[in-house]
Structure 1
Amino acid sequence: MVEIRREPPIAWVTLNRPERLNALNSQALIDLREAFQQLSHDDVRVIILTGAGDRAFAAGADIAEMREKSPTEALAFARLGQAACDAIAQAPQPVIAAINGFALGGGCEIALACDIRLASDRAVLGQPEVTLGVPPGWGGTQRLTRLVGPGVASELIFTGRRVSAEEALRIGLVNAVYPADELLDRARELALAIARNGPIAVRLSKAAIRQALDVDLNSGLAFEAEAFALAFSTADQREGMSAFLEKRSAQFQGR
């Protein structure tokens, strides 16, 4: 249900259940978590996450599977969805979501776990769980609030309203919107632009950005200073600064 394709220095992860609009059942969540855990130990520099087909990134959790769950089973399902999202968020490499269609409910939560979100002009995003009688369960109340602020997040979650790609861009839910037939190429271009930089520096930057969401300012600044200092123990730092002074392109090796 999840495919990995390596295109060094990039890896592509594709939710591959197009006949169900890439709806996320338990097995898909397990596969997604394992894919990102595997890639976390890989030498690829950037990961792009997308959905198979041209209709959906992921239309949400599989309602047919959820409908008859007991509260205990629902808790386990929520924790499984959160574990998949956490595997994405905790990957040391930057993760770009290429949202090629519907990203609703759990699909939106998967996108929220990524570092950068690019949308096609046909994308539709939202957290419609309350229309099914449940709140978001895979991080929507937490990550959406941190991304767009409590007022906008509250309105979207309380109403279950879907938003177009253009509105998602306006409220800061996505970084950019492209014609559908350009989306994957644009995602690749962005990934390659990131991959040209020092991979250790990019990973340290991601770790520091994550700290900004979890700790107070002084603690975050202390982490940033330590990350900055740590980079000076690498060959990449010496190569990057030497290349700048010598007016040539740096050849980073990730060491």
Structure 2
Amino acid sequence: MPKVIYEKRGQIAYVTLNRPEVHNAIDTETDELLFEAWTRFRDDPEVRVAILTGSGDTTFCAGADLKTHVDSWLNAGPDLGRSVLEKGFAGRITRGLHRTPKPIIAGLNGWVIGGGIELALACDIRVASERANFGFFHIRRGMHFADGGIVRLVNTVGVGIAMELELMGEPIDAQRAKEIHLVNRVVPHDQVISTAEEIAAKILRNPRAAVESAKQTILEVIGRPLDDQLRLECLYGYATMGDPEIVERKEEFIQRRDQDRATTNSDT
């Protein structure tokens, strides 16, 4: 069986880590296969959303397979950071393909450990099984996040919580992850993928140009001064107005032909 399974169903691409015998740890071959999968997703005009999950029933991803990664890291010398700067981890969506404008939903079906947390954070929306746990054990082995994990952790949960998680090296369960906004939803174990598909369906009902522009805008404004954020939001937001699908949606709304109209007592 392939170490990464890529399936296309309608407008959704399903990417599955498929090494359950090693808790879906990412070795160098899996990393390359993920790069191929994410590139295919990015370049395929027929798919608009991806759902990422892990095979098996206990683990989403145990991070890097240390048997294939660590020796090369230890022997690389001080230029290691420069050598991997454009590559990132887990197929490049942590750094390199992180600007893919199409939304990616993570279905976290079990343990999420080390680099697996970085991979989950690189996704745009995270749905966790009630059985999921997040293991920040890498600090115990003398390593900290280096492929976007610290950056995205701070942006997602804030400085104080990021300090606690990254410095203590303790695991947290799904409910704690939900409380600190590390995940968007916690659902029964057998509903992880169906919930991800429900979210994907709601994304897909919206015009593509607006969805992709919104994602790009969010990524652009993170960490910038307020005036820069406001400027970028304006430039991105109004740039989509001439898109044919958005023009048609406007006419549908004006003529009351839109099928998912949200009505109020004042709607006329």
Specify if TM > 0.5: yes
Look up the SS of the partner of 2:95 in the other structure. Answer: helix
Read off the aligned partner of 1:136 and give its amino acid letter. F
Q: Distance in 1 between matches of 2:195 and 2:214?
A: 22
Alignment: residue pair count: 251
CA contact (8 A) 1:130 1:158 kept: yes
Aligned to 2:185: 176
- Cα distance change of structure 1 residues 88 and 51 upon mapping to structure 2, 3 Å threshold: farther
Of 217, 230, 241, 1:221 maps to: 230
Q: Which residue identity does 1:55 align to in structure 2?
A: T
Does residue 166 of structure 1 match 2:168?
A: no
Contact between 1:127 and 1:156, CA under 8 Å: does it hold in 2?
yes
Q: How does 1:103-182 map to 2 (within 5 A)?
A: 103-182=112-191
String of CA shifts for 1:41-88, please: whole Å, max 9, x gaps.
222121111111111110111122234342417645685417341356
In structure 2, what is the Cα distance between the partners aligned to 1:146 and 1:5?
31
Check the 8 A contact 2:130/2:186 in 1, yes or no.
yes
> For the aligned residues, what is the CA RMSD?
2.0
Identity among equivalent positions (%) equals: 35
Task: Spell out, residue by residue over 1:144-179, the C-alpha distance to the aligned partner (whole angstroms, 9 max, x if none).
Answer: 111101111111111111110010000110000000
Instruction: Find the counterpart in structure 2 of residue 60 from structure 1.
Output: 63
User: TM-score if structure 2 supplies the norm length?
Assistant: 0.87
Question: Which one of the candidate residues 11, 14, 20 is aligned to 1:12?
Answer: 14
Larger Rg: 2
Q: Does 1:72 align with 2:76?
A: yes
User: In the aligned structure 2, how far is the partner of 1:250 from the partner of 1:41?
Assistant: 30
Letter in 2 for 1:93: K
AA in 1 matched with 2:133 = V
Aligned to 2:34: 32
TM-score under structure 1 normalisation? 0.91
Q: Assess, with a 3 A threshold, how the Cα gap between structure 1 residues 46 and 165 changes in structure 2: closer, same or farther.
A: same
Amino acid at match of 1:165: A
More moved, 147-156 vs 64-73: 64-73
> Greater helix percent: which structure?
1
Aligned pair partner of 2:212 in 203, 213, 227: 203
Per the alignment, do residues 141 and 71 of structure 1 end up closer, same or farther by CA in structure 2, a change over 3 Å counting?
Answer: farther
Q: Distance in 2 between matches of 1:141 and 1:218?
A: 25
Query: Which 4+ stretches in 1 moved above 6 angstroms?
Result: none
> Which has the higher mean CA deviation after the structures are superposed, 27-36 or 42-51?
27-36
Query: Can you give the 5+ residue segments of structure 1 that lack an aligned partner in the other structure?
Result: none
Find out whether 1:98 has 2:107 as its counterpart: yes
Work out whether residues 30 and 80 of structure 1, in 8 Å CA contact, stay in contact via their aligned partners in 2.
Answer: no
**Is the Cα contact below 8 Å between 1:103 and 1:124 reproduced in 2?**
yes
* 1:90 aligned counterpart, secondary structure: coil
Shift of 1:17: 1.0
Q: Which residue of the partner structure matches residue 81 of structure 1?
A: 89
Does the Cα contact within 8 Å between 2:19 and 2:25 map onto a contact in 1? yes
- TM-superposed CA distance for 1:249, in Å, is 3.1
Give the 3-state SS of the residue equivalent to 1:197 in structure 2: coil
Q: Which amino acid aligns with 2:16?
A: T
Distance 1:87 1:220, change over 3 A: same
- Cα deviation, residue 220, structure 1: 2.2
